[in-house]
Amino acid sequence: MIKEVIVVEGKDDIAAVKRAVDAELIAVGGFGINRKVIDRIKEAQKRQGVIILTDPDFAGEKIRKIISKRVKGIKHAYISQKDGIKNGDIGVENALPETIIDALKNAKCEIKEKRKEFDINDMVFFGLTGKPDSKDRRDTLGKELGIGYCNTSQFLFRLNNYGITKEEFKIAVDKINKRINKVR
């Protein structure tokens, strides 16, 4: 399991990286990198570190520069155009798993044990799954913890992968419960 969160351009890149390694990923969705995405990248950098792996083209380099300017101390992984081309299309999504692994090794990624601090029982107990308002609770808690919104299994993965402690989690849950109770 890669310790750092890997930042890529899109969903196809996520699929390619997941074929190569076990890691948390953030897709920026091209040039339109909004504040929410930058905030998630900053949180990831603070908690686990970040590695940027963008396409070996003008757009990829521009995205890399935008992120580097706003988030300090990140690592950079590169694939060559030759290794990222398929049928005239250049991108991370075309790279072989071995190429992606080599790029991450060259960026000095760190390997960590898979963390199992949280499990599905926590999700059920805290109403983050199986209840009519679970989606809203995950959304609010994800914002509070800085890990964003996602489905139950991805939320569980992020809780463990971002190194969130039980204490930090409970404090955030208490905060959102207080907000919910004030509204009622």
| Domains contained in the chain, number | 2
Backbone angles phi and psi of 154, in degrees to 5: -70, -35
Same domain as 30, residue 78: yes
**Residue where a domain terminates, one of 106, 132, 162:** 106
CA 36 – CA 32 distance, rounded (Å): 11
**Residue where a domain terminates, one of 66, 81, 106:** 106
User: How confident is residue 177, by pLDDT bands cut at 50, 70 and 90?
Assistant: confident
For 25-69, write each residue's pLDDT tens digit: 999 987 778 998 999 999 999 999 999 999 999 999 999 999 999
Look at residue 107 and tell me whether its pLDDT is greater than 90: yes
For 129-150, write each residue's pLDDT tens digit: 999 999 999 999 999 998 989 9
Which pTM value belongs to this model? Answer: 0.82
CA 89 – CA 60 distance, rounded (Å): 13
Same domain as 128, residue 99: no
